[in-house]
Structure 1
Amino acid sequence: MGIMEREEERPQFGYGRGERPLWSARDRDAEVIREVLHGAGRPAFSDSEDGFAVESGDEGAPFLVACTIDEWTDAEPELQRYRVALTNARMRVEPDPEDRKTLQVWMPQTA
């Protein structure tokens, strides 16, 4: 195959930050959420930093945006920053009833 990938092996929606492959529309939408939060100055979770993590879940289910701040720190101020950034991007945001450090996020409806 060499250096060039064959067309059918490339992710349909390209690559996101850090060369994350975006195989599906759901992967692409999760990346949009990440970019909105990065654009608002919010750090992503990594080996060296607490921050947000986005889970795409099943088709039709909301995306989950978790705040990875340690359990002894109040996550609410950071979650509020996430809420503001995401609602400004016209996304629907609600608290996750099962996890106080997680938000449920729906992409805006397109016409």
Structure 2
Amino acid sequence: MGDDEPRFGYGQGRRPLWSERDRDAERIRDALRAAGLMEFSDGRAGFVVEGVGAERPFLVAFAGPTSGAGDQVVAYAAALRAAGMRGEPDSDDEQTLLVWPA
């Protein structure tokens, strides 16, 4: 792999994985997709994974209409637990989980 290639390869949609943090975010996305959960895109509600800092947990949020968001976040937490990850509700936002990858 050359210097211009991502260190950890590519995720879905050829998303470059330059760092361990990028790789871990993709592992979270993979676990959610494997559980049949939808990722947010234009015209489709679903999950979004954000890494807010190297020492902080990832944020997994539901992006879409607020009705049903709580059920989606519960489903995200269950899928992540099944994949060996820890996810806890964000006390500041009912549509968000704090996630620590395995």
TM-score (norm 2): 0.95
What are the ranges of 5 or more consecutive residues in structure 2 without an aligned counterpart? none
Q: Deviations over 1:18-77 (max 9, x none)?
A: 000000000000000000000000010000200000001200100000011313x13111
What are the ranges of 5 or more consecutive residues in structure 1 without an aligned counterpart? 1-5
Between Structure 1 and Structure 2, the one with more strand by share is 2
Larger Rg: 1
Counterpart CA distance in 2 for 1:9 and 1:94 is 36
* AA at the equivalent of 2:78: V
Counterpart check, 1:62 vs 2:57: yes
Counterpart CA distance in 2 for 1:102 and 1:84 is 14
Counterpart check, 1:29 vs 2:13: no
Q: CA RMSD in A?
A: 1.1
Counterpart check, 1:16 vs 2:8: no
Match of 2:101 among 68, 83, 107: 107
Correspondence for 2:72? 78
SS at 2:3's partner residue? helix
Counterpart CA distance in 1 for 2:95 and 2:70 is 8
Say how many residue pairs are matched: 102
CA apart distance, 1:80: 1.1
Counterpart check, 1:52 vs 2:47: yes
Moved over 4 A (4+): none
Correspondence for 2:87? 93
Counterpart CA distance in 2 for 1:39 and 1:16 is 14
